[in-house]
Amino acid sequence: MSRMLVPCHVKSTVALQVGDMRTSQGRPGVLVVDVTFPNVAPFELLEITFKNYYTAFLSIRVRHHTPLHTPSKWVTCLRDYCLMPDPHSEEGAQEYVSLFKHQMLCDVSRVLELRLILRQPSPLWLSFTVEELQIYQQGPKSPSLIFPKWLSHPVSSEQPAPRLEGLPDPSRVSSEVQQMWALTEMIRASHTSTRIGRFDVDGCYDLNLLSYT
């Protein structure tokens, strides 16, 4: 199934916090990231991939394209997806994640906008976000190859030759021979990746000092 990257514009994150942000001590635990798709028609969402950075839970809301004169509402398509099983520890903190269409709670066939709601309840982390966000839609179907008619519909013109007594059925033999041939081809085609084991270059192992890359 091919997929196509959808060019998107990720707006800067907005922190949701109660009270006056300048004077409050704590760090925000909820961030909202809006993703818009300028110049792209409403599309069918296939996959969302990103690299996590210390986000514990992810919710996604989607705004659909609706027929004219109907106001489009935000619908939750993913609710509290857990990225870090223990928000206080490092597990899952910097993992690459993929979310697919079949995991979504609602229909995502005419997406206009996405809203990612990131939650990190633990006060131990200084910041959290998601990085390298990429949205994919269904790619174009591979063009079906047109076979010439004589290849796909072989004409059975000749009369089958009269069977000689005592010999096995020719079609059966030919299918078995074909099977054998296929096996030998398979074995020949797979070449073993042998380990070379040489550590020198043409017998020489006279080295410089070690390099710091």
* Contact positions vs another protein (CB under 8 A): 49, 51, 53-54, 85-86, 88-91, 93-98, 100, 102, 123-128, 132, 134, 176, 179-180, 183, 187, 190, 192-201, 204-213
Count, residues in the chain: 213
Whole-number Cα distances in Å, 181 to 149, 177, 190: 26, 6, 15
Closest CB to another protein among residues 90, 185: 90
Shortest approach of another protein to residue 154 CB, angstroms?
24
CB 55 within 8 A of CB 119: yes
**Residue 36 or 49 having the CB closest to another protein:** 49
| Cα-only R_g, the chain | 30
State in angstroms the smallest separation of the CB of 123 from another protein.
Answer: 7
Q: Which is nearer to another protein, 2 or 94 (CB)?
A: 94
Minimum distance from residue 86 beta carbon to another protein (Å):
6
Q: Which residues pair with 114 in a beta bridge?
A: 35, 62
> Whose Cβ is closer to another protein: residue 37's or residue 53's?
53
Three-state DSSP at 201 gives strand
Q: How far is the CB of 160 from another protein (least distance, A)?
A: 21
Contacts of 148 (CB under 8 A, 6+ apart): none
